[in-house]
Structure 1
Amino acid sequence: MLRLRCSILAQILSSHSASPSPELWRLISAATPAISPSPSFAVEEYLVQTCGLTRAQALKASAKLSHLKSPSKPDAVLAFLADLGLSSADVASVVAKDPRFLCTGVDRTLVPVVSGLTNLGLPRPKIARLVSLVGRFFRNKSVVPKLEYYLHLFGSSDNLLRALKRSSYFFSYDLERIIKPTVVLLRECGLDDCHIAKLCTDKPGLLITNHERVLEMVACADGLGVPRGSGMFWRALKAAASIRQENMAAKVDCLKNTFRWSDAEVGIAVSNAPQLLPSSKESLQRKSEFLISELGLEPSYLAHRSMLLTYSVEGRMRPRYYVVKFLRENGLLKRNPGYYTVFNITEKIFMGRFICPHTEAAPYLAEDYAAACREEMPARFIFT
């Protein structure tokens, strides 16, 4: 009966486009005190039957909820989460990670937190996503000022949610003692706010990295010849964060051997595309075989245009190469474009320049190109 009441109230609340008022949520809280606590309330069964946990998860979680004598507070929390828009799977995930979330005061904590986040401009679907990602941190009112700072730091709620999906650990650290001093250090090392947002979105763990390690990464970026304040410096720091210092020399040697570069050419290539450093040996080898062995490009050419080496052979370069070769062999090109142009332009420009103008002369070209991007070889792209 209790769960039925909570379900009905949640349906009523879901009809409101704005955040539910504290008065309405008090109806949920007030719906339960009249019911005497049941000494036989089976927490483990509740977690399985009502919250959707597996038996193993419920057994582990129930140890943290042994004090519960009735489902009144958990029912209110579940109704709140359902109204917020969390799916059954999301609710199960939240409860499995943090069983004590079910003991959070709806009126005292959850409603004020949602109201505060709404005032920051977060729509309810993103608030629901936030609950799924940060779990236990959401049941503390301090989440609102933290979110306000992080929204400014990451530049948008989408960036913040992407960072939290990669790692939510930074969310538990003290802003004043840990996070803000790290951000100040990054600014002192030549990063502007835009590049700090990009770097921390991709590498959120950097926010809680000790300062000595951050300075090591900065020194590594300096050593790669990437100037501070340049648009590539954040990428150099990202690359340095992905590779242990003792492995850096081996990575540089791998690039030299794979692309037959001199020391100077490696420096040029990495300074232009520092994201090459974390690439696997197998990936680099495939690119060398395609660009040098198959297309005949010179190593020095690639060193000065190393952004080419950040693109996928199978998903980008080879399909575009097939298109251009098809057009050339069928006399449909007025001029012969360079490979750097063909591979480097955006997909929209490539389609507009090499696909769309030839729909009459080559009606299957777009279809064949799409197939090649899926690593399927169209018969028309088999050249003799």
Structure 2
Amino acid sequence: MFFSSCKRLLLRSRDSGTHLRVLQNPFCCKSISHISDSPNPPSLTIDYLINSCGLSPETALSASKKICTSFSTTEKPDSVLKFLESHGFLKPHITKLISAHPRLLSANIERTLKPKIKLFQDLGLSGPKLAELIASNPSTLLRSLNCQIIPCIQLVRSFVKTDENVIKALKRSKWLLSSNPDMRLQSNIALLRDHNVPNSRIVYMIINQPGSLLLKTESLKETVEAVEKLGFKPESGLFTIAIHTLCSMSKSTWEAKLKLLKDLGWSEEEIFGAFKRMPIFLASSENKMKEGMDFFVKMFNWKASLISKHPRLLMFSLKKRVIPRFEIYKILMSQGLLRDEWGLIPMLNLCERDFLIKYVTPYEEQLPHLLKAYKSQESELGGSWKAKL
């Protein structure tokens, strides 16, 4: 269905030179992109942006200067808002769209907005999900349909095969539709193939980590080579995860995190050993890693060398996961129901469902308040553990 829609849209655009120019470069369309030279836009425009679009007075004043001409009537912008609302856009979505691109209020519904909305509907998006996707990247509605949006979606779909996977990729990176597929996506995919990354891992990256494939090819090449030097094998899933982790931060951030871990007692060998076990752990914020180290060192007297063998520990939320499960651990230990002093590590690694099945449900008869204790710790405790030291 998606490809038949693409074909119809492309054929329709060939039949009308005017339509094609509008779709290919909406910023050249006078009705959309002309910026008012008026230093004092009339109050009707500003009032409309505030009252109908939800903009703050300051944002409305700035946005009003980007609208082609000040409103003499609200008929045109009313029709645009009505169209968006009819397709599931709520006030927050509209506020975000118009704040970023107020010229959308002057867009031609039939030629500029409707074809793009129809395209996403054919992919399987509608209502709030459609609105959320477009609001996350407001410029989508002003992109060239035939030169940018359709080719990019077709390229992604040629790898991931299903519309469902295309949608997942689009949700993962708001920049995916902002890129020129021939300049970035294609060349970066070719780069990964040249380094013997299996097609299955490339597909995984497109669906789950598309942002890494939108970098400048030279930058991605440097990262790929760095990952190879660290000893990761291209056929391993950890290879692409390591690429994604390094791509997600600047060199200065990477160096700051390495310095933090060294200051917390990790050796260089332990840092890179942990990175090879679980590259994504270094995507955690410096603050989160520091708090995690403080907790495990001060509450359990665990050494950095032990924690480095379980780097996933530093990815867990203290408030939502570690502290609530620690409370259950203490209760079970006090009742003689858990004898392994290292039992907290497997407790923390389990998913929520398996944790409850293994450590809470079996003891509910014997300890009827166990679940309540767990839930209360989950919702109330945070940094207060420091006061207990």
> TM-score scaled by structure 1?
0.74
Q: Distance in 2 between matches of 1:50 and 1:319?
A: 45
Q: 1:81 is matched with which residue: 73, 79, 84?
A: 84
Contact 2:77/2:105 (CA < 8 Å) preserved in 1? yes
Within the candidate set 95, 102, 107, 2:105 is matched to 102
| Distance apart, 1:275 and its partner CA | 2.5
1:259 to partner: Cα distance: 3.9
Give the aligned partner of residue 179 of structure 1.
Answer: 185
Alpha-carbon deviation of 1:83? 0.7
Aligned twin of 2:310: 305
Give yes or no for contact 1:85–1:128 (8 Å, CA) kept in 2. Answer: yes
Gaps of 5+ in 2: 1-41
If asked which structure has higher relative contact order (CA below 8 Å, sep 6+), I would say 2
Structure number with bigger Rg: 1
Given that 2:325 and 2:347 are in contact with CA atoms closer than 8 Å, whether structure 1 keeps it comes out as: yes
2:173 alignment partner, one of 155, 159, 163: 163
| Corresponding position: 1:65 with 2:75 | no
Partners of 2:287 and 2:138 lie apart in 1 by: 38
Distance 1:74 1:315, change over 3 A: closer
The answer to whether structure 1 residue 222 and structure 2 residue 231 are counterparts is no
Alignment of 1:1-384 (within 5 A): 42-63=44-65, 64-66=67-69, 70-139=73-142, 140-142=144-146, 143-150=149-156, 155-164=165-174, 168=175, 170-189=176-195, 191-192=197-198, 195-196=201-202, 199=205, 205-245=211-251, 248-249=254-255, 251-261=257-267, 263-333=268-338, 338-376=343-381
SS in 1 for 2:183: helix
Contact 1:95 1:102 in 2 (8 A): yes
Alpha-carbon distance in structure 2 between the residues aligned to 1:184 and 1:347: 39
Asked if structure 1 preserves the Cα contact closer than 8 Å seen for 2:97 and 2:135, the reply is yes
| Amino acid aligned to 1:85 | G
For residues 50 and 229 of structure 1, do their structure 2 counterparts lie closer, same or farther at Cα, with a shift above 3 Å needed? same
Larger CA deviation: 297-306 vs 362-371: 297-306
TM-score, normalization: structure 2? 0.73
- Cα deviation for residue 361 of structure 1 reads 0.9
Query: What is the alpha-carbon distance in structure 2 between the residues aligned to residue 383 and residue 153 of structure 1?
Result: 53
Contact 2:288 2:314 in 1 (8 A): no
Contact 1:151/1:160, CA 8 A, preserved across alignment = no
Return the alpha-carbon distance in structure 2 between the equivalents of residues 260 and 46 of structure 1: 58
Structure 1 residues 193 and 46, CA gap change in structure 2 (3 angstroms): farther
Distance in 1, Cα, partners of 2:269 & 2:99: 53
Structure 1 CA distance for aligned equivalents of residues 339 and 298 of structure 2: 27
Q: What is the number of equivalent residue pairs in this alignment?
A: 336
Structure 1 residue 209: Cα displacement: 2.0
Cα RMSD for the two superposed structures? 3.4
Q: Which structure 1 segments of 5+ residues have no match?
A: 1-39
Distance 1:125 1:280 in 2: 31
Aligned to 1:17: none
Deviates more, 1:110-119 or 1:196-205: 196-205
Question: SS of the counterpart of 2:99?
Answer: helix
